[in-house]
Amino acid sequence: MEEKLRTILKEARAEIVSANFSDYEQLRIKYLGRKSALARSLRKIKDLPEKARRDMGELGNRIKREIIQLLNDLKDKAKDKARDGRSASFDPTCPGIVPDLGRLHPITQIIDDLIEYFRGLGFSVAEGPEVELEKYNFDLLNIPDNHPARDEWDTFWVNRKEGSKNNTLLRTHTSPVQLRYMKSHKAPIRIIAPGRTFRYEAEDATHGSVFYQLEGLMIDKNITVANLKAVIDAMVKHILGEDVETRLRPSYFPFTEPSYEVDAWFGGKWLELMGCGMVSRKVLKNGGVDPDEYSGFAFGMGIERLIMLKYGIKDIRYFYQPNFDFLKQF
Ligand code: PHE
C-alpha cells in the first residue's frame, strides 16, 4: 500500500511539473478524480488493520494535499506567463501593457513650428556646418582678428594657426549661414537657419556651451527696419501669444547697422529675446550682394531661452538630460 501511494506521488510530480496549463483539467482528473489510482487506494484504506489504517490514512492525505499543491502551482505558472505576455493563451481580463511612446524633443518641436511659420511668410530653410571656417564665423561678418567683439564669442577652436586661412572652429552663432547663403544664391533672399551653436563658457542654469539658434535673413529691394520689426513682432506673437508686445532697443553687432535687441513684454517684464539689425553694407558686399540695389535685415534668436520663457523652465540643462519626466511634458 505504502509503496503504491509513493509511486502515485512520484508519477504525479514528474508529470505535473513539466506540464502545460492546457493539460490542467486532464491531470486533475487523472490524479484526483474519483476513478484515479489515488482515490481507489484511499478507498481501500478502511479495510486495513487499525494501525496501518491510521498510518496509510495520514500518508494518503499528505499525498493528496501535495498533488493539489502541484496542480495549483501549474495554474499560477500559467498566470505568471500571461502577465509577462509570453503566453499563447490570451486573457482579455488582464490589464494591457502600455508602451512608453517616444516623442519629438521640445527643441525639435519649436524649430518645426518656426519652420512651418516662416514657410508661410515665404522663407526657406538654410543650413551651414557646425564646424565652420573662421572667416565665415568672424571675418566676413566684419569681426576681424583682434576686434573686441570676438571676446563675446569665446570659441572652441578645432584648428588654429596664426595667419592661416583654413582655421576652423565650432560656430559660435548661426550668422555664418547668412554669408554662405548670400554667396551661393542671388538676392532676393528669405531664409531661416536653425541650428546648433557652441560657446566656450561655464555652464549654469541659463548658459550651455551647446545651444540652438534660429537665424533669419531677408534681403530685397527697399527692405527697412519696418519690415524687420513687422516680421519679428509677428514671429514673437506666434510663439508667445497674440497679446505679447515687442520693442526694439538699440544695440551693437559688427555685422548689422543699425543693430537692436528685441525685448518682449512677457510675465510682467521686458525680456531680451534676440539680436537683430539691418545687414551692414560691408557684409552685403562680402556676400556678393550690391548694397546700392538691395538692403536686408537679419536676426539671431536663442531657441532654448525662448522655450524656457514660454513654459517657465528655470534650467537650460534640462534640455540635454535624458529625463523622461521632463521631456514627456511637451
Ligand atoms: N549672431 C548674433 C548673436 O549670436 C545675433 C544676431 C544675428 C544679431 C543676426 C544680429 C543679426 O548674438
Model confidence pLDDT, tens digit, residues 256-303: 999 999 999 998 999 999 999 999 999 999 999 999 999 999 999 999
Was 66 annotated as part of a binding site? no
| CA of residue 218 to ligand 1 center, whole Å | 14
CB 213 within 8 A of CB 173: yes
β-pairing, 189-198 with 210-220? antiparallel
Choosing among 3.20.20.70, 3.30.930.10, 3.50.50.60, 3.90.1150.10, the CATH entry for 106-327 is 3.30.930.10
In which band, very low, low, confident or very high, does the pLDDT at 82 lie, cut at 50, 70 and 90? low
Q: What is the mean pLDDT of the chain?
A: 91
d(CA 175, CA 172): 9
195 Cβ below 6 A of ligand 1: no
Which residue, among 43, 16, 10, has the nearest Cα to 29 in the 3D structure?
16
Q: Give the C-alpha distances (Å, rounded to integers) separating 203 from 198, 199, 207.
A: 12, 10, 5
111 contact partners, CB below 8 Å, separation of at least 6: 194, 212, 214, 303
In the block, which residue shows the cell 508661410? 120
The mean pLDDT value for 310-322 works out to 93
| CA of residue 287 to ligand 1 center, whole Å | 17
Residue 225, pLDDT above cutoff 90: yes
Ligand 1 pocket test, candidate residues 172, 173, 201, 231, most atoms within 8 A of CB = 173
Between residues 83 and 232, which one has the greater pLDDT? 232
Domain range list for the chain = 2-89, 106-327
Q: Give the C-alpha distances (Å, rounded to integers) separating 38 from 5, 27, 43, 56.
A: 7, 13, 9, 12
The atom number, within ligand 1, closest to the CA of 178 reads: 9
| Backbone angle region of 325, left / alpha / beta, with phi > 0 → left and psi within -120 to 50 → alpha | alpha
